[in-house]
Amino acid sequence: MVTKTREDCLPEFVDLLLDTVFLVDARGRIVYVNAACERMFGYTPEELMGQSLLDFVVPEDRARTLEEAKQVIAGHSRIGFENRYIRKDGRRVHIMWSARWSEKDQLRIGVARDVTEQKHAEAMQLATYAISEAAHNATDLDVLLREVHRIIATLVPVAGLAIATCDRRTKQLSFSYQMDRHGNSPVLHEPIACQFCAQVICNARPMLSHDAALAALSGNVASGDDSGPWLAVPLITQQETIGALVVKGDPGTHYSDKDKELLHFVSGQVAIAIDRAQLKTELLRAARYDELTGLPNRRLFQDRIRSAVARCVRKQSLMAVLYIDIDDFKQVNDSFGHATGDLLLREVARRLQLCVREADTVARLAGDEFVVLLEDVQTLEDARAVADKIRGAMSHPIDVDSRMLRTLASIGIALYPEHGQGIEQLLQHADEAMYADKRNKARVPT
């Protein structure tokens, strides 16, 4: 084999160029590289010559780089091919190539330009647009966080990603999202991760650590296997810090200052997106659920009963509606105050939920008026059995602020389609039946 030298193929001034010039033989071995390589790759020319150029390419880019080399050797000159390399210090650099094949010298002549800064700026801009679009299109917070994971994985090496958020009321930190690249969860040991994130939030700046150091944080040094780095950044909106984003790297992953800068920039967009999504979720919940008891409110109940009627029509099945009123509730409010009355209503809601199936609906319509929607009942007796169960649950004394309160429930039942095929008819029949139950109890001598 004939080894070519710089004098054979290149002019003397090549070492003055800012771009790196490579001569690579047909086997992929570096025959010559100019002085610019040390600034770009961290290696001196002497360290690179004789090495396989492909060994310095990031693993994810090797297959297409090899295919590109075949195209060049086949005589197709290339301008603008991009791939990534691992520097001597472990950092990744984005390189743009121009290359051609010298048939006479049996060498690939390549000129490499470092476009890492350009790629970094483009990545920040694209990530901003992508996260903004994800926040706009996401139907709920879970969908948004999965899309955030996908976007971040295009920016930095990600074996797994976790997002911790602070509860708006209690400020307690918990993980609302954890997923590795294969869709498995969890990816972090949560108690240790919470301590780490709490430090990140307190310091309000990115932090890099490893499994062994994080295990030591919890006093459990033996469990730390140092399997990969954790890079965490605070999620800061314009008003406050709402949590932290944690990227888990594979063993050997090196997160550079540029990675930290990029993730810190993106985290600001992520924080705004999450904050808006949480607010949207809270507003939607407030519009559909009763704030005091957490039960579906009248609006959500109307949606569910409409859907239930449609299913009954399609399946030719029966459905029951139980209208429930708490006897003498006004007297509790008047005697002990509204705060006690609120506690009583919460307990009533809890007991009602324990009396029905998970698929059934318990809703609070207003004040002390509740309604239960029972689907797929076989007979009226099934509904009556549930009503008796509710009466039994309500008959037990309720401990409210160290006061033992006794209350009863008046219940009216309407069966679909026997007592009406329309929603208003069913509710009216159940309401009238409830008042009839209340009147009958009033006639019973005490």
Binning pLDDT at 50, 70 and 90, where does residue 323 land?
very high
pLDDT band at 135, cuts 50/70/90? confident
Mean pLDDT of the chain: 86
CA distance 93 to 105: 29
Q: Measured between alpha carbons, how far is 151 from 56 in angstroms, rounded to an integer? A: 26
Strand partners, 173: 166
CATH class assigned to 298-440: alpha beta
Model confidence pLDDT, tens digit, residues 264-275: 888 888 888 888
pLDDT at site 330: 82
Instruction: Give the mean model confidence (pLDDT) for residues 65-80.
Output: 92
How large is the average pLDDT for residues 387-396?
Answer: 92
Q: Provide the CATH number for the domain formed by 6-114 in this structure.
A: 3.30.450.20
The tokens describing 409, both together, are: 């429930």
Kindly state which CATH superfamily the domain 119-288 is placed in: GAF domain (3.30.450.40)
| Percentage of the chain lying above the pLDDT 90 cut | 46
The pLDDT value recorded for residue 16 is 67
96-105, 209-218, 409-418: the lowest-pLDDT one: 209-218
37 versus 215: the higher-pLDDT residue is 37
Residue extents of the structural domains in the chain: 6-114, 119-288, 298-440
Instruction: Region of 243 please: left (phi>0), alpha (psi -120 to 50) or beta.
Output: left
pLDDT at 102 over 60: yes
pTM: 0.56
Q: Which residues of 20-41 are buried (b: 16+ CB within 10 A; e: fewer)?
A: bbbbbbeebbbbbbbebbbebb
At 41, the pLDDT band (50, 70, 90 cuts) reads very high
* 6-114 and 119-288: identical CATH topology: yes
Which of the four pLDDT bands, split at 50, 70 and 90, describes residue 8?
low
- Averaged over 115-121, what is the pLDDT? 87
Measure the CA–CA gap between 422 and 429, rounded to whole angstroms: 11
Is the predicted pLDDT of residue 224 greater than 80, yes or no? no
How far apart CA 117 and CA 254 sit, in angstroms, is 18
Q: What share of the chain in percent tops pLDDT 70? A: 92
Query: What's the gap between Cα 125 and its chain centre?
Result: 22
